[in-house]
Amino acid sequence: MPMNILLAGSFDDEAEHRQWAAALDAALRPALPGGHRLLSARGEVPDETIAAAIVANPPPGSLQGLPQLRLIQSLWAGVDRLLADATLPPGVPVARMVDPMMNEAMAETALWAVLALHRGFFTYARQQAAGRWQPLAQRRADELPVLVLGAGQMGGTVARRLAANGYPVTVWRRQAPAAGAGQAAVNAVHEVHGPDGLGTALAGAQVLLNLLPLTPETRGLINARLLAALPRGAGLVNLARGAHVLDADLLAALDAGQIGHAVLDVFSTEPLPADHRYWQHPQVSVLPHAAAMTDARTAAAIAAANIAALAAGRPIANLVQRATGY
């Protein structure tokens, strides 16, 4: 019997929706020998027949009243917005996007930001705008300790890339793996856990790079207290979620010179409002939530493989733990 699958998302426009539908349809065809129907809207078939949903942060309520729904597959890596929908069916497993190509894109953005902070390239851009010729002291990579918050798919890949480029890297994660449960998340970098581990690592970091998921525990973590624990003039790179940062605290730290420069890809309100101080602040570089975008060329097959696992009764990959929020 063909499987009915709903595609639901907040896509930029109709063209993006059509592009995703075509890529997913092509990936689902070989993955589901029993056939499938990919639905772009509710109402095309009876709600009772929809078995799976592929979603990209759909408007709240989109997945209500689907009694046969057995899997929600997110096209986004971060599921904070999806899980914030109080109407999300409670018993249905949620899987998130994990795509090695996306991890690599994140590592590229992180490496660019850390290199630019390390070699003063943001300062040189400001100097160019002012017509000023002023070479800066040249630091070595091994003189710039980087602390990465989060050591999962993104944080782990970023940490490895930075370490390979000569930076002393420390990662902070929730907990060490249980004995016998496998290796530490990242080989060749230092790993710390919990509030004590974080405090010590902050004091030694020249760059703080955030790749945590947004959960009740991590919301607002990057606040005045945390920023004050960094050495004066340290750099901040936030590539995770805007709500990790208390904006007023960061702006105060930038104005006071406690933070030398911030690279921000994500914001509490997106798009960043036109009158936000970040746009004009000389020590802030703004990216439009583009650090690592889901790429249909690889992600469609990854989503389809999970739907095929559902159809065949095999384990679903990359399940989200709803209790912890990631």
Tell me which stretch binds ligand GLV (CB under 6 A): 30-38, 76-84, 173-181, 268-276: 76-84
Strand order in the sheet with 284-286: 190-193, 169-173, 146-149, 207-210, 234-238, 259-264, 284-286
Q: Are 326 and 320 in contact (CB under 8 A)?
A: yes
Q: Name 197's Cβ contacts closer than 8 Å, sequence gap at least 6.
A: 172
User: What is the chain's alpha carbon radius of gyration, rounded to the nearest angstrom?
Assistant: 21
Q: Which option in ligand GLV, ligand NAP, none does residue 185 bind, with CB closer than 5 to 8 A by kind?
A: ligand NAP
Active site residue 289: yes
Tell me which stretch binds ligand GLV (CB under 6 A): 41-49, 73-81, 194-202, 270-278: 73-81
Catalytic residue among 118, 241, 244, 261: 241
Residue 50 or residue 113: which is nearer to ligand GLV going by CB? 113
Choose which of 11, 76, 122, 167 interacts with ligand GLV (CB under 6 A).
Answer: 76
Choose which of 120, 294, 303, 306 interacts with ligand GLV (CB under 6 A).
Answer: 294
Q: CB of residue 9 vs ligand GLV: minimum separation in angstroms? A: 12
Choose which of 5, 8, 71, 77 interacts with ligand GLV (CB under 6 A).
Answer: 77
Q: CB of residue 19 vs ligand NAP: minimum separation in angstroms? A: 18
Total binding residues toward ligand GLV, as defined by CB under 6 A: 4
Q: Are 230 and 205 in contact (CB under 8 A)?
A: yes
Q: Name 163's Cβ contacts closer than 8 Å, sequence gap at least 6.
A: 169, 186, 188, 189
Neighbours of 151 (CB within 10 A): 25
Residue 9 or residue 78: which is nearer to ligand GLV going by CB? 78
Q: CB of residue 208 vs ligand GLV: minimum separation in angstroms? A: 19
Active site residue 29: no
Instruction: Please name the helix (run of DSSP H) or strand (run of DSSP E) that holds residue 241, with its range, or none.
Output: none
Choose which of 8, 53, 66, 78 interacts with ligand GLV (CB under 6 A).
Answer: 78
Q: Which residue's CB atom is positioned nearest to ligand NAP?
A: 152
Q: CB of residue 79 vs ligand NAP: minimum separation in angstroms? A: 7
Is residue 172 involved in binding ligand GLV (CB under 6 A)? no
Is residue 72 involved in binding ligand GLV (CB under 6 A)? no
Is residue 157 involved in binding ligand GLV (CB under 6 A)? no
Rounded CA separation 255/246 (Å): 14
Q: Are 186 and 211 in contact (CB under 8 A)?
A: no
* C-alpha torsion sign, points 266, 202, 108, 21: negative
Residue of 75, 179, 161 whose CA lies nearest to 171: 161
Centroid of chain to Cα 108: 14
Site for ligand NAP, rule CB under 6 A = 77-78, 150-155, 172-175, 185, 211-215, 217-218, 239-241, 265-266, 289, 291-292, 326
Rounded CA separation 155/173 (Å): 9
Q: How far is CA 272 from CA 192, 245, 264, 286, 288, in A?
A: 33, 14, 11, 9, 8
Q: Are 77 and 326 in contact (CB under 8 A)?
A: no
Structure tokens at 203: 């004091």
Tell me which stretch binds ligand GLV (CB under 6 A): 35-43, 70-78, 184-192, 303-311: 70-78
Q: CB of residue 131 vs ligand GLV: minimum separation in angstroms? A: 37
Residue 5 or residue 212: which is nearer to ligand NAP going by CB? 212
Residue numbers at the binding site for ligand GLV (CB under 6 A) = 76-78, 294
Residues noted as catalytic: 241, 289
